[in-house]
Amino acid sequence: MIKAPHQQRLLFYCLAAALPLFLVASLFNYSLLRGEGHYLFGSNLEILGYLIQAEFLAVASGILILIPLLVRSTLKYIRWFLFAVFVCLALGFAWLAHEIDGRADMLCYALLVFVSYGGGTLLVFDWYAGATRTFLSLLRWSMGIFIYVSLQLSFNLESNISIWKNTRTVIPFGASYFYILSVLELILYTPLTYYL
């Protein structure tokens, strides 16, 4: 069965959505493989800790900020209104991240909302999918929470994530978490998007 051009375009965006996840995972993996004191792109242990802390907020707030994007409509102005509601909610949670730990946490949160929920596929390009977008958004959110909490328990980390920032444990945790998400993006979400 030959897919329509918009479905092929959507498949390309899904594949592209895995790239930011691989890049974030590489930040952690580089430090994991090279050892203490080696960081990629000018990052450091504190920045990697901010990423893990902000990812928790991104995953926890995911369902709330995704609700406007899950509403289906064929009217363009309603789509833009819902996107504006999404942006307002995301900015609200970004401000909360700023209140928790300053500008670095706010920037990490904004980046990770984009990275964790399929990037451009979710935010801009996926105007075609309708029910598929809803299903995949909820799947990304539920898998993100499940993997985050599972790895937290596996690495025997404290429930207070603010103290993780200065520990070396954030490096294997982050590498595992973001690589699992990027593999899921490639082997699960992309085929589902294509066939749904």
Q: What is the pTM of this model?
A: 0.78
CA–CA dist 178, 192 (Å, integer): 20
Domain-by-domain residue ranges, the chain?
Answer: 5-195
> By mean pLDDT, which of 9-13, 66-70, 161-165 is the weakest?
9-13
The predicted-structure confidence for 150-176, as pLDDT tens digits, reads as follows: 998 888 887 777 777 777 888 889 889
| 32-64 burial: b if 16+ Cβ within 10 Å, else e | beeeeeebeeeeebebbbbbbbbbbbbbebbee
Average pLDDT of the segment spanning 75-98: 82
Q: Give the list of residues 6+ apart from residue 175 with CB closer than 8 angstroms, or none.
A: 25, 28, 29, 32
Residues 141-165 as b/e (b if ≥16 CB within 10 A, e otherwise) read: bebbeebbeebbeeeebeeebeebb
Q: Could you report the per-residue pLDDT of 30-62, keeping only the tens digit for each? A: 888 877 767 777 677 777 887 888 888 888 887
Q: Tokens at residue 118, please?
A: 């399929």
pLDDT in tens, 120-141: 555 444 544 556 666 777 788 8
* Band (180; pLDDT cuts 50, 70, 90): very high
